[in-house]
Amino acid sequence: MRDVTKDNITDVFMSYMGEDMNPRLREVLSSLVKHLHAFARETNLTHEEWNTGIAFLEKAGEISDAERHEFVLLSDVLGLSSLVDMLHNRPEGTSSSVLGPFHITGSPDLAVGADMRKDFDDTVLLVEGIVKDPDGNPIPGATLDIWQTAPNGLYSSQDPDQDTYSFHGLQKVGDDGRYAFTSVRPVEYTVPSDGPVGDILRACGRHPWRPSHLHFIAEAEGFRPLVTEVFPEDDKYLDNDTVFGVRKDLVMTYVPMPAGSFPEEGYELSGKVPGDYLKVNFDLTLVPKD
């Protein structure tokens, strides 16, 4: 086409795609370009703004490496990661939520009832629940990959003072589908805001905070893997998580338990928690694979 105009350029783009192109790629790319062109028309995008956008993408590329994924963070703070999650969520299962950049592979085994708190001195938190199917039947042998911040608000990969696997554990549930571990209450923290995504947050008058949460990846043979996180109802950022990860069914309560009531057996810390502690009960429902 030699007569490309601002009115026909979207159709011209479509006409340039080959006949034998992958049909799904055609669908996704056509829609992307249609919306991109509509966005430029709607905002009457200027050269200067286009340049700013390109410079932003370049900065995001420059700051990214094997550990830092600025484009994923961009997708997170724009709500795209959460939207994609919710598009594929199944209502009969526990909602999924963002993975975030602090998951690491190879976490150590954490037996049912074991302690993740190690030498961090804080109020003990007992977390337990059942991994079950949508009919309520326990799923024996399911595995849970669990991770969280230390009380200083840092994940182990952000903190040279913590061991690599501090506050990370891999638990295989028993025949009754039950998981249990002790830890400390995770704390709220900020997403990395020293890069271009931080600039966007500031330019939008937004804060970089996430409500405190416990991360889980639950997996079991024959079931869809679930990547999720659970949040306490009393967190001050629950209603304005900067990455839009909170769902109603992922909100739980830390129940204060009186001194002397910690179970006398079945936990690594049994007999070692004389004072009060916190307890949360949270079941995870996995959906069978299609």
Applying the rule CB under 6 A, the residues between 84 and 103 that interact with ligand BEZ are 98, 100-102
120: number of Cβ within 10 Å: 14
Q: Determine the Cα–Cα distance for residues 230 and 253; give it in Å rounded to an integer.
A: 10
246 contributes a contact to ligand BEZ by CB under 6 A: no
- Our finding on whether 250 is near ligand BEZ (CB under 6 A) is no
The answer to whether 258 touches 103, Cβ cutoff 8 Å, is: no
Residue 191 binding ligand BEZ, by CB under 6 A: yes
Beta strands (DSSP E) in the chain are 114-115, 124-132, 143-147, 168-172, 178-184, 189-190, 209-210, 214-219, 226-232, 251-252, 255-257, 277-281, 284-285
Pick from 60, 70, 76, 168 the residue near ligand BEZ by CB under 6 A.
76
Least distance (Å) from ligand BEZ to the CB of residue 204? Answer: 16
The residues near 222 (Cβ < 8 Å, ≥ 6 apart) are 288, 289
Closer CB to Fe ion, residue 8 or residue 152? 152
101 binding partner (options Fe ion, ligand BEZ, none; Cβ < 5 to 8 Å by kind):
ligand BEZ
Binding test (CB under 6 A) with ligand BEZ, winner from 218, 230, 243, 246: 243
Both tokens of 26, joined, read: 């055609």
CA distances from 40 to 43, 47, 57, 59 (A): 5, 11, 17, 22
User: Measured from the CB atom, is 113 or 198 closer to ligand BEZ?
Assistant: 198
Stretch that binds Fe ion, among 3-11, 95-103, 162-170, 244-252 (CB under 5 A): 95-103
State both tokens at 81: 């990661």
Task: Report if residue 201 touches ligand BEZ, rule: CB under 6 A.
Answer: no
Nearest-approach distance from CB 231 to Fe ion, in angstroms? 10
- 211 near ligand BEZ (CB under 6 A): no
The span from the CA of 42 to the CA of 202, in Å, is 24
73 binds ligand BEZ (CB under 6 A): yes
The C-alpha atoms of residue 264 and residue 127 are separated, in whole angstroms, by 16
Complex with Fe ion: residue 100 or 198, whichever CB lies closer: 100
With CB under 6 A as the rule, give the number of residues binding ligand BEZ. Answer: 9
196 touches Fe ion (CB under 5 A)? no
Contact partner at residue 98 from Fe ion, ligand BEZ, none, CB < 5 to 8 Å by partner kind = ligand BEZ
Nearer to ligand BEZ, 33 or 99 (CB): 99
- Alpha-helix residue ranges (DSSP H) falling in 64-122: 70-77, 80-87
At closest approach, how far in Å is the CB of 240 from Fe ion?
16
Cα–Cα distance measured from residue 276 to residue 201, given in angstroms and rounded to the nearest whole number: 39
Closest to 139 measured CA to CA, from 176, 102, 88, 168: 176
By CB under 5 A, residue 129 contacts Fe ion: no
Nearer to ligand BEZ, 262 or 282 (CB): 282
Chain residues that interact with Fe ion, rule: CB under 5 A: 100
Chain residues that interact with ligand BEZ, rule: CB under 6 A: 73, 76, 98, 100-102, 191, 210, 243
